[in-house]
Structure 1
Amino acid sequence: MAIQDLVNGVPTPPETPFEGKVVKPVHYSTYPSPLPAQQLARLKAHLNSLENPLLKHMHLSRIRRSDPDLFFAALKDDLNQMAPLVYTPTVGEACQKYSHIYTGPEGLYLSIDDKDRLPEILQAYAATLSRIPQIVVVTDGSRILGLGDLGIGGMGISVGKLNLYVAGGGIDPNGTLPVVLDMGTNNQTLLDDPLYIGLKRPRASLAEAESFMDTFMDTVSTLFPTTVIQHEDFYSEAAFLFLEKYQKKYRMFNDDIQGTGAVILAGFLAAARKASALSGLPLKDHKVVFLGGGSAAVGVAKEMMNFFLMEGLSEQEAKERFWLIDTKGLITSTRTDVVTDKIAGHKKYFIRYDTEGKEYKTLSDVIEYVKPTALVGLSTTFGAFEQPVVRRMAELNKAPIIFPLSNPTSKCELAFSDALEWTNGKVLFASGSPYSPIVYQGKLREAAQGNNFLVFPGIGFGALMAGAKHVTDGMITASAIALSEAMTPDEESDELLYPRLDRIREVSARVAAGVVLAAQKEGVDTTERLRGMSWDKLVQEMLDSQWHARC
């Protein structure tokens, strides 16, 4: 029987009237209709049959495009297992192999070759949308995780971040827009790859990129005036330039600089209090050594300064609690590249002027010189925290704070198992990528994950809910404080530094509420109905406003 009509979207056969009898349409489907629970079970079974994380990532990407409700229901059902597949560490490999596994467009691809037509292109695209995006995540692919310049493959990061906005922050997936700005690449492997689908030209200069970004930011903010724009994985010099230039003009923030800073500040608040409780050291006397001098390291250090400011130190005194090491050693005023003004601009803030002309080339040298209470890694160098360094930290401190934060796991400075073994279990540990729990000396130990996932959904959602004119530094710091106060008694008793990911929706609501209150305090909010709400009512408002999958 031929299909003739659609009744409520369901194919139906033609009616055959009989004399004296009214025949109602017969509703049936031409394909099986598994129940939502069956669909979820089938998806899990298929994922379990795939032999490696990349294949699972690829399958989940197809499901996201064809059935968003099922995709996000799967993330909600088992976030701890799914998050590493849709984001770090698997997304790193997916970005590296993007042109080889590409099966279709996932967002908006904008080429610098079309810079003169960019407003026209964006206006035409906006005309096709049924609603204004709530969140835009944009990258130029120039510094993806710790993997470097991956060109157009950076789209995987924009998509991955927005997956987490939906899963963790409750943003409606129909209100998300991933963007990659294709400005070429300096990755010779990609330029030589016949399958590479991005622009095969050297990466645009910073001046060219700035002009392109000026047009992009102005046009997007004009077309979508209520949208929050998140910058992601721009190389250091561009990241700081764009943040400084646009932060007070548009509703935007940089997750690598500000989001990472906020989540590490939250973890450091917890770790420093635990360490001081054991040692008796005043909180203001903690000393922090950073291995890494990129945008993430400088951004994290600047945000962590708020810990010392809250303890009553001046800005100068707070800055002096940090020692930054880049590839040339400790950043000092007498180092050759500093003297000749050839050091990257973003590093200048943390130049040390108190080393009396002596240079410290290695991490071990700096540890002996500073005798820090905390060691933070954002170097993207696997195994950079070697055994002698870690053991020395344990000798110097009753509870050494060690945060190897580089992503993905292949770039992490220190494995959780080694951290426990080399400190005799004394370490207060947080990493950028996930590690499985370990039974050490008869006790189950969980690795804290200083994952931006704990804050950026709340920052973006809070800025949206507040109708913030722009995202202030105070709103970023408020997100860190709200995160640090989101621990449950059980999490505290288990000596965790962060809430568990299975509470991410609740945690994001609390972070968003903190962001809203900060926006109100600074006078940049426009959503009047949220003003004057109690903390509990504001958190509930954030929870009630979250999107949920229908599966």
Structure 2
Amino acid sequence: MFASVPRSFITGAIRSPGKKALLLEASKTLSSEESKKEIHEVSGDVICPSQVMGIDHLRDPRLNKGLAFTLEERQALGIHGLQPARFKTQEEQLELCRISIDRYQEDLNKYLYLTELHDRNEKLFFRLLTENIEALMPIVYTPTVGLACQKFGLIYRRPRGLFITINDIGHVFEVLRNWPEPNVRAIVVTDGERILGLGDLGACGMGIPVGKLALYTALAGIKPHECLPIVLDVGTNNQNLLEDPLYVGLRQKRVTGKLYDDFVDEFMEAVVRRYGQNTLIQFEDFANHNAFRLLKKYRDYYCTFNDDIQGTASVAVSGLMACKRITGKKFSENTFCFLGAGGAALGIADLIVRAMVLEGSSIEDARSKIWMMDIDGLLAKERIEGNLDGHKKYYAKDHPPTKDFAGLVNEIRPSVLIGASATGGAFTQDILTAMGTFNDRPVIFALSNPTAKAECTAEQAYTFTEGRCIFASGSPFAPVKIGNTLFKPGQGNNAYIFPGVALGILTSGIHHISEDVFLIAAETVAENVSEDDLSKGRIYPPLRTIREVSVQIAIKIIEYAYKERIATVYPKPEDLRRYVEERQYNHNYEPSLPQLWQWPKGPYIKTRPMEPAKLTHK
């Protein structure tokens, strides 16, 4: 009998005695175990009937519509009188949100306002973010999220995601079961050891998975209840945090070695046991010594990718693909010079090599065109200081060891300069001027985040190359005017890539993610750069178009998945765009009353219609 009751009807927690009797009778058919599960779990926009009564509709962010509840909804849901008499549309609420956020002067206060809105009214938050992405993405993600992580102990208010500590080893699955949503499809996980360019922030790194998953929804329409942010808290080596009374994580040095690996292994196994083999697990901001090896370890056994390695590589290669339309050069006709040889830089280098191989180059020739320098100097076969483990050895050169980056630039005369070092100002005036001397259109990417860590500013790049460079950065920079030309620098943000990639993976049911997926994403982003964008110095599409770009990426990944026979959703949908769009999150308010039932006629209180007030932004 219970299965025959519409779930939306159950969710309504209707006050009618007749309907209550039906619910009571239906609930008797549940076994005791099922009852416990129903009471504990929150599925999508639905909470079990015993939990959604009256004011709980206003307290649950997924159900709350603020003053947009109609009179009939307020009375039927038991919230009449709990709100002022005024009725407001979602559009009116959005205007009030814009006014409110504009009144804050500091970005951290804007971040806190948006966090509070997310905790209060989910649909309003995501509609505000989606429709104002150019203004608000720097607030919910880079660069402001870095400051939020640094202040996390001070601004922490309420749970959002799971904190799984090394002390939970042996019981990780039980901790995952405490998350009330049983239908998680996508997880972003970090251990907080390398947050942006800020270093080891331990449990305070939770701001990164939360911000990433907010963009999953805003930029790709992945349903928020299908997303779960997680921190694996194994301690921190940041002494300032260990001594900070406001720090919210484990107060111990980081666990390493076999115990760390066993912990991560248990976490991966627990995710599959809890949510299934096709659950997407995105690794985020793991230190370089763990990032590559964990990706290599898990990629053929789980549905996983590392955004710092593969997402950053994809967005950088996308920018380079757009540059080809300006310089007229193939990838193999360039010389690339990297400052930084961490996970992001190596990921970019590997994807560049893959692109050159597709052009017809051998792997050896492709790697020979890429020069890399890390904190210990040039990746040279003879160097003693520093190691050349992992992918670094592929780019080691038969060249005397050196730490003179400017000297190296003048020696090899690169056409593309890429910064992924988290060293602010490393691209000096002399280096930028030299790049302008070697090339008619030098390509300069200062990709480090946040803004203070960028290797150079947009103004420096354009000024010292006489406005001839093609520039991109990881964090946003204001437009720059050189002579009579106004340049609008492109932001090589991973947000162009990972939301669309995730949407394509989830809608096609891919279990293991190849590098081809990220090359497809890069090509799609580059195709969306218009000639007008290029003329303004922008090598990425406008941020306001990311949601459409994400849909296009998803469609191409689905086509690739069926072509390569790695999709697990069958039969293949006839209209892929429609298939994708039907599975996206709707951030517009919907009726809160079930449409399948006739509501009993009651003595509704007569109210006088109110004219909507016009808000004036002062």
Measured after TM superposition, the shift of residue 436 of structure 1 is 1.8
AA at the equivalent of 2:266:
T
- Whether 2:189 is the aligned partner of 1:138: answer yes
The residue that corresponds to 2:210 in the other structure is 159
**Counterpart selection for 1:446 from 488, 499, 520:** 488
Residue by residue over 1:200-240, the C-alpha shift from the partner in whole angstroms, topping out at 9 and shown as x without a partner, is 00011143221111010111022211321110000011111
**Mapping 1:329-478, distance limit 5 Å:** 329-337=377-385, 342-352=387-397, 354-355=398-399, 358-478=400-520
**Counterpart selection for 2:240 from 182, 186, 189:** 189
Give distance in 1, aligned partners of 2:91 and 2:73.
29
The residue that corresponds to 1:72 in the other structure is 126
Aligned length: 518
Give distance in 1, aligned partners of 2:108 and 2:372.
35
**Counterpart selection for 2:265 from 214, 220, 230:** 214
Give distance in 2, aligned partners of 1:289 and 1:70.
45
**Counterpart selection for 1:54 from 108, 114, 119:** 108
Where 2:169 maps in the other structure, the secondary structure is helix
AA at the equivalent of 2:300:
K
* Closer, same or farther: CA 191–272 of 1 in aligned 2, 3 Å: same
Where 1:323 maps in the other structure, the secondary structure is strand
Measured after TM superposition, the shift of residue 300 of structure 1 is 1.2
AA at the equivalent of 2:249:
G
Residue by residue over 1:382-411, the C-alpha shift from the partner in whole angstroms, topping out at 9 and shown as x without a partner, is 111010000000000000000000001011
The residue that corresponds to 2:138 in the other structure is 84
Residue by residue over 1:38-81, the C-alpha shift from the partner in whole angstroms, topping out at 9 and shown as x without a partner, is 21122122212222000110111111111111111111221100
AA at the equivalent of 1:184:
G
- 8 Å CA contact retained: 1:458, 1:512: yes
Where 1:158 maps in the other structure, the secondary structure is helix
Residue by residue over 1:4-35, the C-alpha shift from the partner in whole angstroms, topping out at 9 and shown as x without a partner, is x9479779xxxxxxxxxxxx999444313432
Where 2:385 maps in the other structure, the secondary structure is helix
The residue that corresponds to 2:291 in the other structure is 239
**Counterpart selection for 2:566 from 493, 503, 524:** 524
Residue by residue over 1:452-481, the C-alpha shift from the partner in whole angstroms, topping out at 9 and shown as x without a partner, is 000100111101111002111221221112
Where 2:244 maps in the other structure, the secondary structure is coil
- Whether 2:178 is the aligned partner of 1:125: answer yes
Give distance in 2, aligned partners of 1:493 and 1:267.
14
- 8 Å CA contact retained: 1:273, 1:283: no
**Mapping 1:198-347, distance limit 5 Å:** 198-225=249-276, 226-275=278-327, 277=328, 283-337=331-385, 342-347=387-392
- 8 Å CA contact retained: 2:283, 2:306: yes
**Counterpart selection for 2:583 from 540, 545, 551:** 545
* Closer, same or farther: CA 466–25 of 1 in aligned 2, 3 Å: closer
Q: How high is the TM-score relative to the length of structure 2? A: 0.81
**Counterpart selection for 1:505 from 536, 547, 552:** 547
- 8 Å CA contact retained: 1:337, 1:343: no
Give distance in 1, aligned partners of 2:441 and 2:544.
27
Measured after TM superposition, the shift of residue 494 of structure 1 is 4.0
Where 2:472 maps in the other structure, the secondary structure is strand
The residue that corresponds to 1:15 in the other structure is none
Where 1:403 maps in the other structure, the secondary structure is strand
Q: How high is the TM-score relative to the length of structure 1? A: 0.90
- 8 Å CA contact retained: 1:251, 1:468: yes
- 8 Å CA contact retained: 2:170, 2:266: no
- 8 Å CA contact retained: 2:379, 2:388: no
The residue that corresponds to 1:491 in the other structure is 533
- 8 Å CA contact retained: 1:269, 1:307: no
Where 1:337 maps in the other structure, the secondary structure is coil
Where 1:194 maps in the other structure, the secondary structure is coil
AA at the equivalent of 1:437:
P
Give distance in 1, aligned partners of 2:552 and 2:74.
50
- 8 Å CA contact retained: 2:490, 2:537: no
The residue that corresponds to 2:10 in the other structure is none
Give distance in 1, aligned partners of 2:382 and 2:142.
39
- 8 Å CA contact retained: 2:331, 2:352: no
- 8 Å CA contact retained: 1:10, 1:29: no
Measured after TM superposition, the shift of residue 495 of structure 1 is 4.7
Moved more, 259-268 or 514-523: 514-523
AA at the equivalent of 1:429:
F
AA at the equivalent of 1:388:
D
AA at the equivalent of 1:109:
F
AA at the equivalent of 1:194:
P
AA at the equivalent of 1:238:
N
Give distance in 2, aligned partners of 1:521 and 1:318.
28
Residue by residue over 1:473-525, the C-alpha shift from the partner in whole angstroms, topping out at 9 and shown as x without a partner, is 22122111222222345435545311111011110011112222232233221
- 8 Å CA contact retained: 2:470, 2:537: no
Give distance in 2, aligned partners of 1:291 and 1:26.
60
Residue by residue over 1:139-168, the C-alpha shift from the partner in whole angstroms, topping out at 9 and shown as x without a partner, is 000000000000001100000000111110
Give distance in 1, aligned partners of 2:96 and 2:368.
56
What RMSD over aligned residues (CA atoms) do the two structures have, in Å? Answer: 2.0
**Mapping 1:1-16, distance limit 5 Å:** 6=15
Give distance in 1, aligned partners of 2:441 and 2:73.
73
Give distance in 1, aligned partners of 2:262 and 2:202.
18
Measured after TM superposition, the shift of residue 303 of structure 1 is 1.2
- 8 Å CA contact retained: 1:405, 1:412: yes
AA at the equivalent of 1:265:
V
AA at the equivalent of 1:104:
R
Residue by residue over 1:237-276, the C-alpha shift from the partner in whole angstroms, topping out at 9 and shown as x without a partner, is 111111001001001110000011111111111113412x
AA at the equivalent of 2:495:
F
Give distance in 2, aligned partners of 1:257 and 1:539.
29
Where 1:334 maps in the other structure, the secondary structure is coil
Give distance in 2, aligned partners of 1:472 and 1:65.
36
- 8 Å CA contact retained: 2:337, 2:418: yes
Give distance in 2, aligned partners of 1:26 and 1:449.
45
Give distance in 2, aligned partners of 1:400 and 1:514.
31
- 8 Å CA contact retained: 1:505, 1:543: no
* Closer, same or farther: CA 489–237 of 1 in aligned 2, 3 Å: same
Where 1:230 maps in the other structure, the secondary structure is strand
Give distance in 1, aligned partners of 2:95 and 2:330.
52
- Whether 2:521 is the aligned partner of 1:479: answer yes
